[in-house]
Chain A
Amino acid sequence: MNIRYFAWVRERVGVEEETIEVPGGVKTVADLISHLKTLDDNHAAAFEEEDAIRVALDQLHVEADTDLGDAREVAFFPPMTGG
């Protein structure tokens, strides 16, 4: 699965994009976040303030309890500040 990071989430993780193997037990966005936090200190730091993280599944905003389904791309980022 392709994972993308933006803004300070990207800075904390240290990469813009990565492809990871999703373990069998990971069904929802929240499951994926829990898994990512175990990868290393950078990921753990990026997802420390979990409530501040927004998620898009195949470029659509979703909530943490959303099933990953067949999504090819998941993106994590802080609340938006455009405009």
Chain B
Amino acid sequence: MSEHTYSIPVGPLHPAIHEPITLKIDVEGEEIVGVDVFCSQVHRGIEWLGMNRNNPIQNIYLAERVCGICNVCHPFCMVQAVEDASGIYPPERADYIRAIMAELERIHSHLLWAGVAAHEIGFDTVFHYTWALREKVMDLIEYLTGNRVTKAIMMVGGVRRDISEEGKKKIKEGMQYYLEKFAKIEDIYLNDPTIKMRTRDIGVLTREDALRLCAVGPLARASGVPKDVRQDFPYGAYADYGVKAITPDTYNGEIHADVFDRIIVRLLEVKQSVDIIKWAVDNLPSGPILAEKNLVKLKMLLKKAEGEGIGRVEAPRGEDIHYVRLEKGKDPYLSWKIRAPTYNNVLPWIPMLLGGQIADVPIVAASTDPCMSCLNRVTVVDEKGRKYEITKEYMHELSVKKTRRLMRNANRSF
């Protein structure tokens, strides 16, 4: 049978939306033979906006909205970079509060991811259940910061809100809740046969590929690369705690580097986060939370500062890097570069999807916890690499072929 290579759109604008990214999958027969990614739907030019605002303080909120999910990590990373560049270092208490916030975010984000992944494979009960459990951390975040999602807690040289004694109690309560529920979540995700069926040995990313394609975060760790900024390049309170990167072999001694391993890594990280938060609350140093309380003064200081700095934070999805360059009198940055984790985790889709099945695309893509939606521009790549826009007729023909294949397969399985 003559097989054309053709591209299929995957799940345009479905409920599990993250950052929209265009994903083109070239399929030959049953197999995926090519993957291409685009990301123009969501480009808002944040870096450019940041370089043209009035002051770095405004940019904190811009960084926060690089992503609504990693909305502590990006500002965290950015203020780190600005602090490096300007030399306004935060007090210790602020370091700890930042770590608590970042870990709360990790819990919420990993649970969110787990739910979405369950939804991708049509397991809505687990989705609902996980998100119901997630509400606890959302409440906690709201209590500590004043909003469920955007935390608006970071400030150059510290944090904006302190944690009171009452707050400490609430955090501990919340962590206790998760410790209790953890067994159940673990049981659901790691022991359910249907989840295992859909995720075991699916979307394998070998260690070599993870290195070559610069994968970061749980994705890299699930492939056996023990890479975690909190461990390798500790910042703030993590330097005191000593985080250990989690790889799937800590759970069951083997690394398959598949979707299931990514579930393991994320679930274990939730537990780790709970530990870190408990430790940080217990060891919260006293003192101020801001290096420079007076915002007007801070603004002036930043205006006069000159230098460059790199911020690195382990976001729930992996390493986040910001580069900031300040110049005297220049509003506000001379240069700002954001490198969100998904930026690096998109290319690994290619080896993960290659050779896979079409039905695996949603869960494999989701396993990197990425940003996908509106995959609606379909381009065809034929054997010679020529490209042309797909027509409906062509699509029809392909779907006809697809039926045949399916039927043949059904037939084969007699």
Are A and B associated in one complex? no
Show the binding face of A for B, using Cβ within 8 Å.
none
